[in-house]
Structure 1
């Protein structure tokens, strides 16, 4: 299986700082120093005024005030930690990862509490060990809940609207494979 990318490895990709602002992290750090900013709210306000938002802003805040512990771990360390107290669910995650990585241009982005599957354009699915007995596969689909699809109020990011609860590898069946492929296709 492909190695999951860590936050640190995704730093430049997720920020897109140079493309959006014309300046790299070192230049932004110089600008922040020159502005005399010493606290996070002031830094966020300053960056908002400069049009630096989202991941780029988060990156510069981390640069100034320190990176959280999860940011310095590898992708595999983050995934291992998610399943440390529920090892019986790791094969469920692995089965979903195998499906997702079979789709062209997909990569794995590990986070502290879940894993995102990102296609060529954007995130199309997320997997989260939600309970000790269940993994939730969140999908970026506009489908209403029904059948195996349940609402996904807290799986991955806000774009993930529905989820499929998975309790075993057997639950990762043809229907789940079709849903993953459809979410990928709808988010190209």
Structure 2
């Protein structure tokens, strides 16, 4: 997976990474899998997911094959910049929080940025370690994959909006909330997910 410091990967780049992952983990090309799915796979999405799991195709590879079979969501064709602009369109005052978090990423190490429809995922070479999501008109949540999170009033349970990888979140109401304590936490989370 290529890492980029400040340039989010587009969905098209993510798709290419998923194709490579599928081929690397299964030994079969995307074309071969698409043919197998057409020939032998169930016609309904839920059943196809179960069938793929039985064939040891899970995670991003499974998502790729489901999209290939049933079509890609419309946001898949948008650029990373368009997706981020859409996230902050009705809350432009929160964009500075997102920019402040992105600005500190180079000091953490190699970070890949993957833009989604409602949030931005931050990844080490191994996995997602954090997500940034504007969740209200006054708050951006920084979700963290952090099993050893300290007991702090700044951290709380993440809820379901930030994805299943996130174990805690920090609510950020201004760029000033991206302070030394938060930067230290983000470094610990990054290091724990290498």
TM-score by length of 2: 0.89
Structure 1 unaligned runs (5+)? none
Number of the residue aligned with 2:23: 18
Equivalent residues of 1:6, 1:109 under 8 A apart: yes
Question: What is the DSSP-based 3-state SS (H/G/I as helix, E as strand, rest coil) of the residue aligned with 1:128?
Answer: strand
Count of paired positions: 188
Q: Distance in 1 between matches of 2:120 and 2:87?
A: 9
Number of the residue aligned with 1:116: 121
Q: Residues 16-55 of structure 1 correspond to what in structure 2 (within 5 A)?
A: 16-35=21-40, 37-55=42-60
Change (3 A) 1:34 1:159: closer
Question: What is the DSSP-based 3-state SS (H/G/I as helix, E as strand, rest coil) of the residue aligned with 1:102?
Answer: helix
TM-score by length of 1: 0.91
Equivalent residues of 2:41, 2:51 under 8 A apart: no
Q: Deviations over 1:65-103 (max 9, x none)?
A: 100011111111111110000000001000001112432
Q: 1:148 aligns with which of 154, 159, 163?
A: 154
Change (3 A) 1:68 1:82: same
Structure 2 unaligned runs (5+)? none
Q: Distance in 2 between matches of 1:36 and 1:186?
A: 38
Q: 2:91 aligns with which of 83, 86, 107?
A: 86
Number of the residue aligned with 1:179: 185
Q: Distance in 2 between matches of 1:44 and 1:123?
A: 22
CA RMSD of aligned residues (A): 1.8
Deviation of 1:37 (Å):
4.4
